[in-house]
Amino acid sequence: MTKTAVVLFNLGGPDSPEAVRPFLYNLFNDPAILGIPWPFRSLLATFISRGRNKVAQEIYGHIGGKSPILEQTRTQAQALEKALAAETEDVRTFVAMRYWHPFTAETVRDVAAWSPDRVVLLPLYPQFSTTTTASSLAEWRRVAAQAGLSAPAHSICCYPTDHHFIESFANPLRLALAEAARKKPTLQARVLFSAHGLPKRIIERGDPYAWQVKKTAAAIVQVLGDTGLDWLVTYQSRVGRLEWIGPATVDELRRAGGDNRPVVVVPLSFVSEHSETLVELDIQYRETAVTAGVPLYIRVPTPGPDEAFIRGLAEMVRAVMKGAAVGTCSATGERLCPHEFGACAMAAAAA
């Protein structure tokens, strides 16, 4: 029986207060995040992690001193393995985190010990970016080569408009809009599709992330079928002095307050709950909304182990298993991004 290992990738998060600073160091020491040569990158990462440690400690203090992302990713992995249990192949799921345990090297060892016939690399970043998906896949390939893991690998680079993924957000958004209409029947709600932000210079280098985020938002709106919906894409989590892509979610909350609009926030670039949803959106941005006079603030949950989301992941894995292809592709198997985005994963794979 053919053995297929499916590796789910995510950023990871600190599992204790003591892990916050080294987690931040690992994040900023990634050349995909800070594109400067080593050892200058290491020195700057040390400086940033020290400077941000106190603020980050306070953030994680709101959620028990650690991130829940590993537990949630493992739940998703277990649900995916269960969804694939009926296959004629022996399928086992694994979890690899980029900046904290289980690190990629740990997961490579576990996968190698299982001796699969092939590996499916499945990032839990629906929209591709050089700072997330590309970094995780590059780290996997580097470590796998060092470990002698020779099983052919196939990577799914992105699925920004996969209909199951879209459904996993559209369904709770419908409920949120119905709640807003019930609580504020005379006011039209505004939907903010809030994604993690990026420095503008990364997008200018051909990163397709923002383009894919807009495609996700438009697909959700299309499924809702509400042609009069008031919506826009916004970005959160800005740090540092660089110019970031916008508009900023926090600025749009203030504008919504001035317009006397209820707000429904959809964290469409996240598939599990962590500090940026549980603290930034649920606590910090909610306080901003109240201060700005927003009459109602509702946040749509992330997919987590939602049945539709897991079904979509399973279908992508099945497509790889049936095609037995080796390489990098989107959920559809075709390049999604316009050719102006030279950092597209499929463009890089074809080069």
Query: What pLDDT is attached to residue 87?
Result: 77
Query: What pLDDT is attached to residue 298?
Result: 98
The domain defined by 3-160+307-350 folds into Rossmann fold (3.40.50)
pLDDT surpasses 90 at 140: yes
pLDDT in tens, 147-194: 999 999 999 999 999 999 999 999 999 999 999 999 999 999 999 999
Where are the domains positioned within the chain? 3-160+307-350, 163-299
> Does residue 86 or residue 319 have the better pLDDT?
319
Query: What pLDDT is attached to residue 347?
Result: 76
pLDDT in tens, 273-318: 999 999 999 999 999 999 999 999 999 999 999 999 999 999 999 9
Residue 239 pLDDT level (bands cut at 50, 70, 90):
confident
Length of the chain: 351
Tell me which DSSP letter residue 285 carries. Answer: I
Task: Say if 3-160+307-350 and 163-299 have the same CATH topology.
Answer: yes
Question: For residue 83, what are the CA distances in angstroms to 28, 71, 77, 306?
Answer: 36, 18, 10, 12
Q: Name the least confident of 7-11, 225-229, 239-243, 305-309.
A: 239-243
When computed from its CA atoms, the radius of gyration of the chain, rounded to whole angstroms, is 20
Averaged pLDDT for residues 59-69: 97
Was domain 163-299 assigned CATH 3.40.50.1400? yes
Residues 6+ apart with CB under 8 A from 201: 242, 243
pTM score, two decimals? 0.95
pLDDT in tens, 261-270: 999 999 999 9
Residue 349 pLDDT level (bands cut at 50, 70, 90):
low
Query: What pLDDT is attached to residue 222?
Result: 97
Concatenated DSSP letters for 208-244? Answer: -HHHHHHHHHHHHHHHHT-TT-EEEEEEE---SSS-B
Cβ–Cβ under 8 Å, residues 206 and 336: no
Q: What is the mean pLDDT of the chain?
A: 95
Query: What pLDDT is attached to residue 294?
Result: 98
Query: What pLDDT is attached to residue 271?
Result: 98
State the burial class of residue 87 (Cβ atoms within 10 Å of its Cβ: 0-12, 13-18, 19+): middle
Averaged pLDDT for residues 103-116: 98
> Does residue 345 or residue 128 have the better pLDDT?
128
Q: Name the least confident of 72-76, 79-83, 157-161, 321-325.
A: 321-325
Half-sphere exposure of 49 (CA within 13 A, CB side): 22
